[in-house]
Amino acid sequence: MQQAVELLAVITSGVYGVMLAKRHHMDFVGVFSLALIVAFGGGTLRDLFLDRHPLFWIGRHHYTVIIFILALVTSVFPALPKSTEDFLHLPDSLGLGLFSVAGAIAALEAGTSLFIASLMGVITGTFGGVIGDIVCNKVPSLFRPAPLCATCSFSGCWLLFSLTALSVPESYAVPVAISSIVLFRLAAIRWNWQLPHDPVETDDGN
């Protein structure tokens, strides 16, 4: 189950990375590099924190081939217009849900506590996008007022733990947890749900 979830996470996050790169008019090298970063960034940090070797995408080297093919196929397509930006939310949300749950499961298998596992799920699900934003010269949305993202991941991980504690079979618990994260994230984007934050001051002090 975990490997299937991880594979789907790589594909959806790779698609998001490709679309983001095309949105920024990158060439093939840029598209491939950004897709790799988005798809593998969070999981790589998780593996380093948990001292897991080899890194998940090195141990399953076909993941990089999948990203390469995605980048190669899409490199012949024209740059995406700004009007298509809303479509980025779907692969982004799917990748968040899939990678968050895969990361939490991997952390539990490494013997961590539930709280650490939930943090590893959040890191796995979000930090590929964080690094991708930095490469695109943007302040990561995770670190500024924006629709909920890490909160969606965190809550979904705890839903997974709760279902598991209630002896719900993994074949049900995992899809339910993933779906909750994806739907929560899409709803947060749709209705602009944000955590409380200080108002941004302008140059005139307002």
Q: Which tens digit of pLDDT belongs to each residue from 96-116?
A: 999 999 999 999 999 999 999
Q: Which of 190, 23, 16, 196 is nearest to 97 (CA)?
A: 16
Q: Where are the domains of the chain?
A: 2-191
- The confidence score (pLDDT) of residue 24 equals 85
- The tokens for 115 are 């709280």
Q: Which of 8, 3, 24, 138 is nearest to 82 (CA)?
A: 24
The distance in angstroms from the start CA to the end CA of the chain is 52
Residue 168 has pLDDT above 90, yes or no: yes
pTM for this entry? 0.91
Peptide bond into 54 cis (omega under 30): yes
| Residue 158 to residue 176: CA distance in whole angstroms | 12
- What average pLDDT is seen over the chain? 90
- 3 state DSSP class of 22: helix
Q: What is the mean pLDDT of residues 140-166?
A: 94
Q: Which residue has the tokens 């590099």?
A: 33
Residue 204 has pLDDT above 50, yes or no: no
Residue 205 has pLDDT above 70, yes or no: no
